[in-house]
Chains A and B, each alone.
Chain A
Amino acid sequence: MTMLREQDDSPQEAVNPELERKAERRESWRGFFHAVPAYVYLIVFFVLPLFVVFVFSFASRGRTGRPILENWNLDGWTRLGDPLVSTIVGRSLFVAVLNTFLCLIIGYAFAYWIATRPKQSTRTLLLILVLIPFWSNFLVRTYAWRLLLDSDGYITQLGEWTGLWGRMLFTLPAVFLGLLYGFLPFMVLPLYAAIERIDWSLVEAGRDLYASGTKAFLKITLPLSRPGIIAGSILVFIPSLGAYVTPDILGGAKTTLLGNFIVTQFGAARNWPFGSALSSAILIVMVAATILYFRSGARTV
């Protein structure tokens, strides 16, 4: 991740700027050649499909809803102003923001706990435990949640036994549980990497300079884990916003999110131009937001 890159902290000036520039240019060319396979791969399998999506957003629909690549129009894009779209976008944003926040709170506490285990072997073991769910299919794991949350599922039974909750399946809380479960590792790993890198003598210096434990955490540990917070939040927020499997399986009809809505356009609704326009719009907004964020000095830490 670019934001995790070490910054050059040498205060020295270049001795010979011309020579340095030449060396840098040569270095950069060599880098380019190394990256050629990656460029080719990304262009063929990443940029081109996205371009196709973008092109389809201007296509027209045949009588059966089949996309036709003529009579280019903006119908797909104008439908973005539909009140239904704003409702779904609003709901998806709410879900993504809240899920990112929940992941951040729970993930930070957990990552901090792992990073502060004294033995390296304990830390490695705990990280492996975080990764273990990835060894089985996400769809299968989400169906497992469906069993747990259904009428006779253990979680429902527990809720009924304690009187705290009932059957959660096909409600928003079920979607949150599923998303939290699915994306927590993406928060924990970058946070762990950031927290583990913190020089603890900085925290000790803070304590020595009259900061209480809480103050030292807020003024030193937290700002120094910022690269991890940013990386983790992006890794959770973006897929949460476009989540499809979890809301589809656990959420039911009342909780349509962006991901499901787009899938519907390509499936049942047979409105490819609208689905493409929606996908393209989300992509453009996300890329713009990310660029703006990094331009605005997020790299100061």
Chain B
Amino acid sequence: MTDGKIAVSLRGVTKRFGEDVVAVNQMDLEIQDGEFFSLLGPSGCGKTTTLRIIAGLEYPTEGSVQIYGEEMGLSPPNKRPVNTVFQSYALFPHMNVEDNVAFGLRMKKVDEAEVRRRTDEAIELVRLTGMEKRSSRALSGGQQQRVALARALVNQPKVLLLDEPLGALDLKLRQAMQLELKDIQSEVGISFVYVTHDQEEALTMSDRIAVMNEGDLIQVGRPEDIYESPVDLFVASFVGDMFFLPGEIVESGTVKLVGGETVQARTTSAPGTSVTLGVRPEMLALYGDRKEAPPGRNAVSGTVGRKIFYGEAIFYEVDSGASGTFDVRVENVPSARRWDVGDTVIVDFHLEAATAFAE
């Protein structure tokens, strides 16, 4: 998938709005050729601004943008080999589906027979054949989304930029479109830069993810890396479910919780540091007593304080006194033992499942 060529390269990109709003701060980023790359973060983190800087809809205050080695400088959006799928689709309301899709080719003065051929092809790619003459306003959200995609892809951009393209769709349709987008991406083989605030979307679709917060690039990596080895509390809490307990490093790799229990955790902090221990609920297991629990792992005792039935899983809140509450998610499989409120249990987890973040 990645043959080492760099599709988009940002170096030291900073974008300021006015005096004191820093939308993007000193961003260095390299997006590989053919990669599905996501920019993930909460609203206002600078991910859309980053995308717009690549598209040429904004110019960086500092730093440089290169697309396949070519310095973009102040070149306007119409001179860049990229196309964008806008958040609200931005379909031209005064044109039908076909004219929307053909717009870019016509602007590039491609000859009309070629325009027709490629437009038909693109409409087929997004499975809208038969809708060519429909007004763009007479389409459902999902159809509009497809037109927006076809309108961008028909130009055979070197990089496709997508700004929360599934944000306006309902859950079922969104999930279906996620898979379809991924399929289309492998079919056309170009890099997709995908902006989203939905961590699940980013995890399921991306080859690599960049997590952003308040204009800073926090972590770049494969979905597994981001999920399993978050670099800080922000990434840990933004991506996936995680609960946190206060503690202190007592010796290398050992965290003492407030209630006195010690647990093994991944950490880079030195002894004596105050830390926050982050654990993912689905990585925990519950046992009746210490003898049942597998040896050589973390085991903390507590009582079941709350039980929430989700269908595919059961969620327990285990109160372990002064140390705090452990959230435990147990898959609802036939072999799973069920617990009731008030039961005394041992919370069991592997040291890899817990990460201690310095405060």
CB-contacts of A206-221 with B (<8 A): 206-213, 215, 219-220
Q: What sequence of 0s and 1s flags, for each residue 1-45 of chain A, a beta carbon within 8 Å of any chain B beta carbon?
A: 000000101010000000000000000000000000000000000
Docked-complex contact B90 and A199, CB < 8 angstroms: yes
B208 interface residue, CB < 8 Å from A? no
Measured CB to CB, the nearest residue on chain B to A226 is B94
Docked-complex contact B77 and A223, CB < 8 angstroms: no
Chain B neighbourhood of A223, CB < 8 A: 94
A301 interface residue, CB < 8 Å from B? yes
Q: How far is the CB of B140 from chain A (nearest CB, A)?
A: 6
CA distance A209 to B94 in the complex (A): 16
Measured CB to CB, the nearest residue on chain B to A12 is B140
Q: How many residues of A contact B (CB 8 A)?
A: 23
Docked-complex contact B137 and A224, CB < 8 angstroms: no
Chain B neighbourhood of A211, CB < 8 A: 78, 103, 107
Contact of B88 among A201, A207, A209, A301 (CB under 8 A): A201
Given contacts A207-B57, A211-B107, A215-B107, contact A301 B94 (CB under 8 A): yes
Q: What sequence of 0s and 1s flags, for each residue 164-199 of chain A, a beta carbon within 8 Å of any chain B beta carbon?
A: 000000000000000000000000000000000001
Measured CB to CB, the nearest residue on chain A to B57 is A204
CA distance A199 to B91 in the complex (A): 10
Docked-complex contact A224 and B86, CB < 8 angstroms: no
CA distance A224 to B92 in the complex (A): 9
A205 interface residue, CB < 8 Å from B? yes
Docked-complex contact B84 and A212, CB < 8 angstroms: no
B139 interface residue, CB < 8 Å from A? yes
CB-contacts of A70-99 with B (<8 A): none
Given contacts A201-B90, A224-B93, A301-B94, contact A206 B103 (CB under 8 A): yes
Measured CB to CB, the nearest residue on chain B to A220 is B92
Docked-complex contact A11 and B139, CB < 8 angstroms: yes
Q: How far is the CB of B99 from chain A (nearest CB, A)?
A: 10
Chain B neighbourhood of A204, CB < 8 A: 57, 77, 84, 86, 90
Chain A neighbourhood of B103, CB < 8 A: 206, 209, 211, 219
Chain A neighbourhood of B56, CB < 8 A: 207-208
Chain B neighbourhood of A205, CB < 8 A: 84, 86, 90-92
Docked-complex contact A224 and B90, CB < 8 angstroms: no
Contact of A210 among B57, B92, B104, B140 (CB under 8 A): B104
CA distance A298 to B55 in the complex (A): 35
A202 interface residue, CB < 8 Å from B? yes
CB-contacts of B71-97 with A (<8 A): 76-78, 82-84, 86-88, 90-94
B15 interface residue, CB < 8 Å from A? no
Chain A neighbourhood of B291, CB < 8 A: none
Chain B neighbourhood of A202, CB < 8 A: 90, 92-93
CA distance A207 to B152 in the complex (A): 12
Docked-complex contact A208 and B92, CB < 8 angstroms: no
Chain B neighbourhood of A300, CB < 8 A: 94
Q: What sequence of 0s and 1s flags, for each residue 91-128 of chain B, a beta carbon within 8 Å of any chain A beta carbon?
A: 11110000000011001100000000000000000000
Q: How far is the CB of A125 from chain B (nearest CB, A)?
A: 21
Given contacts A204-B90, A215-B107, contact A209 B155 (CB under 8 A): yes
Residues of chain A having any CB pair with chain B under 8 Å: 7, 9, 11, 199, 201-202, 204-213, 215, 219-220, 223-224, 300-301
Could you write out 15 A-B pairs with CB less than 8 Å apart? A7-B137, A202-B93, A205-B90, A206-B92, A206-B107, A207-B57, A208-B55, A208-B56, A208-B77, A208-B82, A209-B78, A209-B155, A213-B76, A224-B94, A300-B94
Residues of chain B having any CB pair with chain A under 8 Å: 55-57, 76-78, 82-84, 86-88, 90-94, 103-104, 107-108, 137-140, 151-152, 155
Known: A207-B78, A208-B152, A212-B78. 20 other contacts (CB 8 A): A9-B137, A9-B138, A201-B88, A201-B90, A202-B90, A204-B57, A204-B77, A204-B84, A205-B86, A207-B56, A208-B82, A209-B103, A209-B104, A209-B107, A209-B151, A210-B107, A210-B108, A210-B155, A211-B107, A223-B94
